[in-house]
Amino acid sequence: MLRAFTRRLGQDRERATITKAVSATNTARLPHRQVEKATVTATPHPTTDSTVIRSERYRVHFDSAQQAALCARVAGANRYVWNHMLADCIFRWRMWRGYKIGPQPSVSFFTLCRRFTVLRNDPDHAWLRALPAAEVRYALKYLADAYARYFAADKAAKARGETLPRRQSDGQPLTFPRFKSRHSSTPGFTLPDQVRLDGARLHIPKVGWVRLAGSGLYLGHTPKQVRVLKEGTEDHPKWYAHVFHEVPADRLKPPAETGAVGVDRNVGQATDSTGEVYEVPDDPQLDGKIRRKQRALSRKQGWGPKDRRPKSNRGRRVNGQLQKLQRKQKRKREDAAHQHSRKLADKAHTVVVENLNTKAMTRSAKGTVAEPGRNVKQKAGLNRAILASNWGRLDHNLAYKAGALNRVNAAYTSQTCSACGHVDK
């Protein structure tokens, strides 16, 4: 399917951009608009004399229940500071926009840090002083980045003469930062700098030394940052540390020296231009267990979609079992994406994939009350199958494993002849 973009890339020993890949094929037969969309710069592999950031996931084991409780408090403080500062930013912006009170509010990380200092010194928030300041304050870095992404999306929409669609829940634009819920958000915090690692032990300020369990592939290299996250349920929490190491590029497994291969991602599988098929793991037995647990959970008190009664203890137990099965399913899919991306990187230096908009492809067909959608259940099933295929994870893994990753416009790739470039509509 993508051989038209990869035929001559296999003869090019340099790390070419996708512009060369497109010009090497017979793109004159494609409409001019499609050619412009297909011109995407390749993602090159780092040189051997440079350093790259690689992360590794470790299981965190505490020496006491007090350490686990302190980590939960730090994660809760991160969520509280995020929500407090987001509400403060919204209030300041509305006062300035509606009543011209005060200067135009800033949402930069520097400004948010100054407001955090005032908040931490407030007598009503004295409990924040008992927690590590740097780890709690770094939640504002993510808030500032979220605002930056929102402003960039809003600016791009205005340049196109459009407006960002708004959420039905709060009326804010889709890309606007959201408040974090205690029940739906993932608790966690970040150790931004001065990471202390002693073998398989990690030091968390105000918590102490904790033990790490993992492969330790990059231990010994400089740790730059650590992200600590909690998974599981309240009754059976599992803490993990994502350690980001600065690793020399020659320490990594190099990709293939030459060659190019195109990858067509389908529902449930991916196929390269040589004909090899990469199947996404399908476990009907595990899927059946998940569906049965979901049905059982919906019958428990307080766990239904519209059940406002207090949640039952049996429901909590079933929810824990359901989350355990879902985590197992997620690990199997991520492992398959890692194995497939490694095979492709070993096969060819340059990998060409379609630039698919998965978010748009999995949009709901439910419609509105005035204009209800059609074939809603069929579309929902297709959306689940697309998301289960893990297209985005495969693309992400190829970006740093392959020598060069080229993303081309998906239009006409299934209708273009790999020999002459003719488009059969």
Q: Which two tokens stand for residue 245?
A: 């190491």
Q: What is the mean pLDDT of residues 281-301?
A: 93
- Kindly provide the residue ranges of all beta strands, DSSP E only, lying in 273-345, ordered along the sequence: 277-279
Q: What is the mean pLDDT of the chain?
A: 85
Question: What distance, in Å, lies between the first and last C-alpha atoms of the chain?
Answer: 14
Residue in 31, 124, 29 with CA at minimum distance from that of residue 80: 124
Least confident range from 111-115, 184-188, 253-257, 324-328: namely 253-257
Q: In angstroms, rounded to a whole number, what is the distance separating the alpha carbons of residues 107 and 130?
A: 26
pLDDT tens per residue across span 49-92: 688 898 899 999 999 999 999 999 999 999 999 999 999 999 99
Mean pLDDT of 327-341: 93
Question: Which has more pLDDT, 177 or 13?
Answer: 177
**pLDDT at position 299, please?**
92
Rounded Cα–Cα distance for residues 319 and 55 (Å) = 30
- Looking at residue 23, its pLDDT comes to 36
Question: pTM higher than 0.75 for the full model?
Answer: yes
More confident residue, 213 or 371: 213
> What one-character DSSP code corresponds to residue 405?
E
DSSP state of 112: H
Residue 225 identity: Q
pLDDT of residue 19: 34
pLDDT band of 25, cuts 50, 70, 90: very low
How sure is the predictor about 420, in pLDDT bands with cuts at 50, 70 and 90? confident
- Residue 220, token pair as written in the block: 């010994």
Instruction: Report pLDDT digits (tens) over 219-263.
Output: 888 899 999 999 988 878 999 999 999 988 887 888 888 889 999
State the amino acid at position 274 in one-letter form. T
